[in-house]
């Protein structure tokens, strides 16, 4: 490992020189309170974009959300198809190391330039932000950036562990989305009811609303308050926004957004049990022929396609256990012929970019038209 560090440092320096010339700061009301410098980001667990191409980074180690001004909103949007084989090898090579010494933790696509960004960490835990330009990976420097930050109140303790002695701090931020002028954050807190949802107005101030969550987990046959949301999206039904949350083993639960108020404990409505022995990874939505669909990728199941109207038409809440292992009940879904999808994001209105581990073990980055979904 000691021999690898100079190589990584050199690769980082070379990439930094390239990146520093293409990320000028922008002039916007959203960034008027930003600071230029080094925010000392300790980890990047989650990525998401907001208005004007502001990138939000979720750092569980610091229990902090960072807003970063990339300054590249005037770049030409790329319409080219993406099809890159050996993507993890390509990332590792750009960093002067090997695939066994890196981890790609998240991906987000710039809403204006359509450029994919990647959160990468090295063996020693160093967080790296990269972007794809053509088929070339560029480093986005994290020590000289225009940024704002919001530390999460009452995050799960750094030394906290679950019943199996696994560290819980990584779940301080389990998912991150930007919606309607707010940064939405799921994760764990240090409170009695650990499962947490936060709504943080942006630009950041001193305000963050915190709600604790409770669900009925049909596969476990019990109510739960300690399991973090693994991935979520926002669904609008009858003119009202709902948090649509998915958890390990795999309940799908709705929470009215207007009930997720500061300091309030909220029970969700379980509308589906999508199968035990599985954990969700990503949820995105798209429009097709005037209809809205959701895609959910999973650890042990294919990508699930769920029709918005099927969720909206489900009025009851599941309150009885599903006793047969791995059986799915509730809202119906279609299993797409897409397996081992690790990350997904929309690339404009009619494409999805995804990172996939193929049956041969190769990691590929590809784009696909929503017409084929």
Give pLDDT tens digits for 39-77.
999 999 999 999 999 999 999 999 999 999 998 766 555
User: Residue 27: which pLDDT band, with cuts at 50, 70 and 90?
Assistant: low
Instruction: Identify whether 254 is part of a domain.
Output: no
- Residue 159: pLDDT over 70: yes
Give pLDDT tens digits for 349-365.
999 999 999 999 999 99
* Percentage of the chain modeled with pLDDT above 90: 88
pLDDT at residue 23, as a whole number = 43
Question: Looking at per-residue confidence, does 324 or 73 come out higher?
Answer: 324
Instruction: Identify whether 160 is part of a domain.
Output: no
Give pLDDT tens digits for 124-151.
999 999 999 988 999 999 999 999 999 9
Instruction: Identify whether 337 is part of a domain.
Output: no
- Residue 3: pLDDT over 60: no
User: Residue 12: which pLDDT band, with cuts at 50, 70 and 90?
Assistant: very low
Mean pLDDT of the chain: 91
Instruction: Identify whether 351 is part of a domain.
Output: no
- Residue 24: pLDDT over 60: no
How far apart (Å, rounded) are the C-alpha atoms in residues 283 and 289? Answer: 20
Contact 296/282 with Cβ under 8 angstroms? yes
pLDDT at residue 16, as a whole number = 39
Domain extent, residue 62, equals 39-151
pLDDT at residue 79, as a whole number = 66
- Residue 9: pLDDT over 70: no
Q: Who contacts 244 (Cβ-Cβ below 8 Å, separation ≥6)? A: 232, 233, 234, 235, 252, 253, 254, 283, 294, 311
Q: Mean pLDDT over residues 79-97, rounded?
A: 94
pLDDT at residue 42, as a whole number = 98
Instruction: Identify whether 56 is part of a domain.
Output: yes
pLDDT at residue 28, as a whole number = 82
SS (H, E, C) the chain: CCCHHHHHHHHHHHHHHHHHCCCCCCCCHHHCCCEEECCCCCCCCEEEECHHHEEEEEECCCCEEEEEECCCCCCCCCCCCCEECCHHHHHHHHCCCCHHHEEEEEEEECCCCCCEEEEEEECCCCEEEEEEECCEEEEECCCCEEEEEEECCCECCCCCECCCCCECHHHHCCEEEEECCEEEEEEEECCCCCEEEEEEECCCCCCCEEEEEEEEECCCCEEECCCCCCEEEEEEECCEEEEEEECCCCEEEEEEHHHCCCCEEEECEEEEECCCCCCEEEEEEEEECCEEEEEEEECCCCCEEEEHHHHHCCCCCCCCCCCCCCCCEECCCEECCCCCEEEEEECCCCEEEEEEECCCCCEEEEEEEHHHC
- Residue 13: pLDDT over 90: no
pLDDT at residue 72, as a whole number = 78
Question: Looking at per-residue confidence, does 136 or 80 come out higher?
Answer: 136
Instruction: Identify whether 48 is part of a domain.
Output: yes
- Residue 4: pLDDT over 80: no
Instruction: Identify whether 97 is part of a domain.
Output: yes
* Percentage of the chain modeled with pLDDT above 70: 91
User: Residue 5: which pLDDT band, with cuts at 50, 70 and 90?
Assistant: very low
Instruction: Identify whether 62 is part of a domain.
Output: yes
Domain count, the chain: 1
């Amino acid at each position: 490992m000691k021999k690898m560090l100079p190589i990584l440092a050199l690769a980082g320096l070379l990439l930094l020189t390239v990146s520093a010339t293409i990320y000028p700061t922008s002039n916007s009301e959203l960034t008027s309170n930003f600071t230029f410098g080094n925010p000392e980001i300790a980890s990047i667990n989650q990525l998401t974009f907001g208005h004007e191409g502001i990138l939000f980074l979720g750092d569980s180690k610091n229990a902090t959300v960072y807003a970063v001004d990339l300054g590249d909103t005037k770049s030409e949007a790329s319409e080219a198809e993406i099809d890159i084989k050996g993507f993890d090898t390509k990332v590792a090579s750009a960093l002067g190391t090997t695939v066994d010494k890196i981890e790609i933790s998240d991906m987000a696509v710039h809403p204006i330039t359509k450029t994919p960004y990647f959160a990468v960490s090295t063996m020693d835990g160093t967080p790296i932000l990269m972007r794809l330009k053509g088929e070339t990976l560029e480093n986005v420097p994290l020590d000289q950036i225009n940024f704002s930050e919001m530390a999460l109140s009452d995050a799960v303790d750094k030394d906290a562990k679950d019943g199996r002695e696994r560290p819980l701090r990584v779940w301080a931020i389990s998912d991150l989305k930007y919606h309607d002028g707010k940064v939405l954050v799921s994760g764990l807190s240090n409170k009695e009811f650990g499962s947490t949802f936060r709504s943080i107005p942006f630009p950041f101030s001193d305000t963050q609303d915190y709600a604790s969550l409770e669900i009925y987990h049909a596969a476990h046959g019990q109510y739960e308050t300690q399991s973090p949301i693994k991935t979520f999206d926002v669904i609008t039904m009858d003119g009202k926004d709902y948090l649509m949350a998915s958890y390990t083993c795999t309940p799908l639960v709705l929470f009215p957004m207007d009930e997720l108020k500061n300091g309030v404990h909220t029970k969700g409505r379980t509308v589906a049990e999508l199968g035990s022995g599985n954990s969700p990874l990503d949820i995105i939505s798209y429009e097709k022929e005037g209809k809205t669909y959701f895609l959910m990728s999973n650890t042990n199941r294919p990508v699930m396609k769920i029709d918005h109207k099927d969720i909206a038409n489900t009025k009851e809440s599941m309150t009885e256990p599903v006793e047969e292992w791995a059986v799915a009940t509730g809202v119906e879904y279609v299993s797409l012929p897409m397996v081992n999808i690790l990350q997904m994001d929309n690339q404009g209105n009619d494409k999805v970019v995804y990172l996939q581990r193929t049956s041969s073990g190769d990691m590929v980055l590809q784009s696909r038209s929503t017409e084929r979904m």
